[in-house]
Amino acid sequence: MKLGRIIIPRHIYILPSFSLPTSSSIRSFPPSPNHLNLSFPVRKRATIRSMSDSIETGVPQRRSLYPPIEPYNNGILKVSDTHTLYWEQSGNPDGHPVVFLHGGPGGGTSPNNRRFFDPEFYRIVLFDQRGAGKSTPHACLEENTTWDLVNDIEKLREHLQIPEWQVFGGSWGSTLALTYSQSHPDKVTGLVLRGIFLIRKKEIDWFYEGGAAAIYPDAWEEFRDLIPENERGSLVDAYHKRLNSDDLETQYAAARAWTKWEMVTAHLLPNDGNIQKAEDDKFSLAFARIENHYFVNKAFFTSDSHLLDNIDKIRHIKTTIVQGRYDVVCPMMSAWDLHKAWPEADLKIVGDAGHSANEPGIAAELVVANEKMKAFVG
């Protein structure tokens, strides 16, 4: 069967894409006339893109994560009288700068985050947002708003003497990437977004007020049952009360339950290592307290549709959106709404993935997006 471009209505076309084995098991063959490497197993996954984008033909794209690397420098940046941020740089000191915006909020960065980027091409900047990871004070909610984080990104860019940079963010990181880019579009050379979260009421209600329970009823009951029945009118508010209790053990218990609910649902298939993170009280306290704080305050936006209302400010920026079809945490409706508002962006739907950036199909598409961005920004 000849594979090619299929035109469907609304100026969208679908191309077949493929999940690959690890690099050690791939044998090289000349490209076929249809531009497919015949050594690849053929497992189709829909790739939705706007007609304004060109089709790459005949050039294999790297799809595997880069090997682990260590930072070449790091530091602490004081951004207010209260907060300091941990930051690090890895890769090529003279390369094209890219800043990684972690999820949560409150999730912090990890060494694996460096591996989405070509270390010979990119100057890779990671930092822990206020209250998260190695930033201090830990799990602090004071002076901790979306707009504080946007200002922190600018302070870090100026501190590192970077004129402009590519921005990469997933889940809450996509929220922050969109917000930062809309605030400083002249400082952004390109965007790679994953697991779109527009922090609208319907998204919060889906995940924390019973929608996702239809898919994970067993895990949901454990999350729900920490809260007495007479307080279940709003689980976000009920958890907020406990995460801000004067009793530290009450905070920890709520944090563990809140974090476990997200960790259980973040992968298409259960990931025990991810779920175990909920048992780390230091991690879960920052993760749950800061997430809940932002959700109770509606991300400190003035309207539910803030990010969609301001798309025109960034419409010109080269952007790839990677979304797992079966993402339960940040369901595909948000990526689709963003795509409809911003058809110029390249939308990649991974048909065999959930939410996590570490799922094979998601990770592969994120690497590909960064590889393509190299040609654009280089």
DSSP sequence for 149-161:
HHHHHHHHHHHTT
Question: Inter-axis angle of helices 201-208 and 235-243, to 10 degrees?
Answer: 80
- C-alpha–C-alpha distance, residues 281 and 32, integer Å: 53
Residue 25 burial class via C-beta count within 10 angstroms: exposed 0-12, middle 13-18, buried 19 and up: exposed
Q: Which residues pair with 272 in a beta bridge?
A: none
Residue type, 65: L
Residue type, 166: Q
Q: What is the pTM of this model?
A: 0.86
Which residues are identified as catalytic? Answer: 171, 327, 355
- C-alpha–C-alpha distance, residues 79 and 63, integer Å: 37
Predicted local distance difference test score (pLDDT) of residue 44: 36
- C-alpha–C-alpha distance, residues 56 and 250, integer Å: 54
306 is written with which tokens? 């803030």
Task: Enumerate domains of the chain plus CATH numbers.
Answer: 73-201+300-374 (3.40.50.1820), 203-298 (no CATH)
Cα distance between the two ends of the chain: 37
- C-alpha–C-alpha distance, residues 145 and 151, integer Å: 10
Q: Which residues contact 356 (CB under 8 A, 6 or more apart)?
A: 266, 267, 271, 274, 362
Q: Which residues contact 340 (CB under 8 A, 6 or more apart)?
A: none
Q: Which of 205, 213, 207, 175 is CA-nearest to residue 191?
A: 175
DSSP 286-318: HHHHHHHHHHHTGGG-SSTTHHHHTGGGTTTS-
116 dihedral zone (left: phi>0; alpha: psi -120 to 50; beta): alpha
Q: Measuring CA to CA, how many Å separate 196 from each of 178, 203, 276, 321?
A: 10, 10, 24, 8
* Strands, sheet with 6-8, edge to edge from the N-terminal-most edge strand: 6-8, 12-17, 45-50
How far is C-alpha 9 from the chain's CA centre? 29
Predicted local distance difference test score (pLDDT) of residue 9: 36
Q: Could you count the other beta carbons within 10 Å of the beta carbon of residue 215?
A: 12
Q: Which of 86, 88, 12 is CA-nearest to residue 51?
A: 12
Mean pLDDT per 10-residue run, the chain (378 residues)? 38 37 36 36 39 44 96 98 98 98 98 98 98 98 98 98 98 98 98 98 98 98 98 98 98 98 97 95 98 98 98 98 98 98 98 98 98 89
Q: Is the link from the previous residue into 21 a cis peptide, with omega within 30 of 0?
A: no
Tens-digit pLDDT profile for residues 232-277: 999 999 999 999 999 999 999 999 999 999 999 999 999 999 999 9
- On whether the CB atoms of residues 68 and 111 are closer than 8 A, the answer is yes
Predicted local distance difference test score (pLDDT) of residue 378: 67
240 SS3 class = helix
122 SS3 class = strand
134 is written with which tokens? 């190695």
Q: Which of 310, 350, 344 is CA-nearest to residue 43?
A: 350
112 is written with which tokens? 């694996």
